[in-house]
């Protein structure tokens, strides 16, 4: 038993000796930059079509549930707060509190996806989806609006799923004492990724839900 404990301690010490916190953080920032370029291109595309079809975009936005979008915004803002609190807790050596905050973050992310599922489900029920029957009676601008809506919010939802997987992996490492008060860079990277997901939604919410 003692040999297993010693081996685990040696593995953690070896990880600490060979880790590169600066390189890890720079790598994450470079990755986030590519994500910004991706969504930045989509935002530019949205702006172009919004300029071409201003009235159609306003009419189409009336089909979205502003209340549901607002609830999801509050949920993501809360999840970003709990990520920060989790990082602070780990830095102070409070592993249990850190995991508690991260569980809240995971819960918020899942609730966001569930809300989005029901929101999309309502649109599908009314035939508002790519090549759906309801779109046959809509203008070209409205069709373009919903095309962008599904692509951009769907891509954002995919990032939520990736973020949840990233945080789940980090939580497993915290539980096994691989990440500690002296080695929390990976948790910070997960937090940075989650903040990006939050910021993207902060732009998506007014662009699609509040333009009318």
Q: How far is CA 3 from the centre of its chain?
A: 41
The range of the structural domain enclosing residue 172 comes to: 2-209
**Residue 75: per-residue pLDDT:** 97
Average pLDDT of the residues of the chain: 89
Q: What is the mean pLDDT of residues 70-98?
A: 96
Q: Is the pLDDT of residue 19 over 70?
A: no
Q: Express as a percent the part of the chain with pLDDT over 70.
A: 89
Q: Is the pLDDT of residue 135 over 90?
A: no
> Residue 20: left if φ>0, alpha if ψ -120 to 50, beta else—which one?
beta
CA dihedral angle for residue 208, residue 39, residue 77, residue 159, rounded to 10 degrees? 110
Q: Is the pLDDT of residue 12 over 50?
A: no
Three-class DSSP category at 109? helix
Q: Is the pLDDT of residue 2 over 60?
A: no
Work out the pLDDT band at 137, boundaries 50, 70, 90. Answer: confident
Q: Is the pLDDT of residue 3 over 60?
A: no
Is 93:182 a contact under the CB 8 Å cutoff?
Answer: no
**Residue 152: per-residue pLDDT:** 96
- What is the per-residue pLDDT across 158-207, written as a single tens digit (0 to 9) for each? 999 999 999 999 999 999 999 988 888 899 999 999 999 999 999 999 99
Write the CATH number for 140. 1.20.120.80
Tell me how many domains the chain contains.
Answer: 1
């Amino acid at each position: 038993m003692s040999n297993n404990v010693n081996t685990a301690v040696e593995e953690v010490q070896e990880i600490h000796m060979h880790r590169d916190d600066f390189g890890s953080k720079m790598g994450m920032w470079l990755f986030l930059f590519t994500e910004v370029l991706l969504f930045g291109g989509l935002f530019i595309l949205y702006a172009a079509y919004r300029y071409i079809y201003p009235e159609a975009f306003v009419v189409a936005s009336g089909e979205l549930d502003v209340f549901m979008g607002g609830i999801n915004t509050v949920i993501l803002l809360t999840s970003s707060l709990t990520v920060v609190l989790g990082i602070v807790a780990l830095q102070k050596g409070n592993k249990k509190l850190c995991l508690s905050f991260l569980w809240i973050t995971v819960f918020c992310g899942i609730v966001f996806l569930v809300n989005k599922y029901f929101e999309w489900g309502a649109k599908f029920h009314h035939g508002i989806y790519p090549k759906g029957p309801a779109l046959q009676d809509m203008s070209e601008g409205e069709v373009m609006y919903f095309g962008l809506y599904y692509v951009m919010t769907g891509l954002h939802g995919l990032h939520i799923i990736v973020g949840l997987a990233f945080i789940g992996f980090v939580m497993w490492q915290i539980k096994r004492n691989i990440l500690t008060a002296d080695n929390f860079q990976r948790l910070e990277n997960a937090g940075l990724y989650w903040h990006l997901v939050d910021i993207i939604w902060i732009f998506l919410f007014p662009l699609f839900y509040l333009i009318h």
